[in-house]
Amino acid sequence: MLEFQNVTYSVPGAEILKNVSFTSDERFIAVTGPNGSGKSTLAKLIAGIITPTEGRILFDGTDITGMSITERAKFGISYAFQQPVRFKGITVRDMITIAVGHKISVGEICGYLSEVGLCAKDYINREINSSLSGGELKRIEIATVNARSTKLAVFDEPEAGIDLWSFNNLIKVFENMYKRTKGSIIIISHQERILNIADRIIVVADGSIAAQGTKDEILPTLLDVQSGCCFGTRRSDGLEEVC
Lowest-pLDDT choice from 31-35, 176-180, 234-238: 234-238
Residue 153: Cβ-neighbour burial (10 angstroms; 0-12, 13-18, 19+):
buried
Inter-CA distances, 214 with 28, 78, 93, Å = 11, 24, 39
Please state the separation of Cα 93 from the chain's center in Å.
22
Amino acid 37 reads: S
Averaged over 215-227, what is the pLDDT?
73
The predicted pLDDT at position 164 comes to: 58
- 226 class by beta-carbon count within 10 Å (0-12 exposed, 13-18 middle, 19+ buried): exposed
pLDDT in tens, 194-214: 898 899 999 999 999 999 999
pLDDT at res. 165: 57
What's the whole-model pTM score? Answer: 0.86
Integer angstrom CA distances of residue 23 from 37, 63, 156, 200: 19, 13, 19, 11
Nearest to 59 by CA among 11, 7, 95: 7
47-78 pLDDT tens trace = 999 999 999 999 999 999 999 999 999 999 99
pLDDT score for 27: 93
Q: Which of residues 108 and 238 earns the better pLDDT score?
A: 108
pLDDT score recorded for residue 96: 95
Query: In the predicted model, what is the mean pLDDT of residues 81-89?
Result: 84
pLDDT in tens, 97-156: 999 989 999 999 999 999 888 888 899 999 998 888 888 888 899 999 999 999 999 999
- What is the reported pLDDT for 180? 87
Which pLDDT tens digit goes with each residue over 144-174? 999 999 999 999 988 876 665 566 788 888 8
DSSP, residue by residue, 58-81? EETTEE-TT--HHHHHHHTEEEE-
